[in-house]
């Protein structure tokens, strides 16, 4: 009797594992495709009339160094320090991170500690507390001369 119930239960359970292939329907806003096309167009367009252009490609991250310029718990003060830094060094990237309870302003994407140390020495007159941190950085875009591609 137990064997009969076990066999019946096994046969009935096979129907539970049967799956049919379905169809996936993706519903999205048509503006997404136009935004992606616009971004691709902007990234592949030559940068002005100059001979040096940035080669389009993905942002590659690697381990490197950044200089911490400021940290504090006041958000407005961190943004003020960022604007002060950007006015002095507009070509250097700035990064604000928040780890409770402080905001941290770190600058630069340096591949070596020596590059970061040189930049830190340059900053010392304008920013009193500076530290170097090893973290994941955005690799700088390598520029190439348009004349060599032809």
**Residues 34-65: pLDDT tens digits?**
888 888 888 776 655 444 444 455 566 788 99
Q: 61-138: which CATH number, 3.30.70.360, 3.30.70.1070, 3.40.640.10, 3.55.50.30?
A: 3.30.70.1070
Rg (CA), the chain: 28
The pTM for the full model equals 0.54
CA 65 to chain centre: 15
Angstrom CA distances, 80 to 17, 30, 40, 85, stand at 61, 39, 33, 9
Q: What is the pLDDT of residue 117?
A: 93
Q: Are 123 and 69 in contact (CB under 8 A)?
A: yes
- Tell me what pLDDT residue 52 has: 45
Cα dihedral 42, 44, 46, 51 sign: positive
Alpha-helical segments (H) within the chain? 2-17, 30-44, 75-88, 113-123
pLDDT of residue 119: 92
Q: Kindly give the parts of the chain with pLDDT less than 50.
A: 49-55, 148-150
**141 neighbors 60 (Cβ within 8 angstroms):** no
């Amino acid at each position: 009797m137990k064997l009969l119930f076990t066999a019946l239960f096994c046969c009935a359970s096979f129907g539970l594992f049967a799956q049919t292939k379905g169809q996936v329907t993706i519903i999205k806003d048509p503006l997404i495709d136009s935004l992606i096309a616009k971004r691709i167009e902007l990234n592949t367009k030559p940068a002005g009339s100059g001979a040096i252009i940035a080669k389009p490609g993905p942002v590659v991250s690697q381990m490197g160094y950044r200089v911490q310029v400021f940290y504090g718990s006041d958000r407005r003060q961190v943004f003020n320090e960022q604007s002060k830094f950007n006015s002095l060094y507009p070509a250097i990237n700035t990064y604000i991170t928040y780890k409770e309870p402080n905001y941290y302003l770190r600058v630069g994407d340096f591949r070596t500690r020596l590059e970061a140390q040189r930049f830190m020495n340059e900053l010392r007159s304008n920013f009193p507390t500076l530290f170097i941190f090893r973290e994941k950085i955005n690799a700088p875009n390598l520029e190439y001369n348009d004349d060599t591609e032809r």
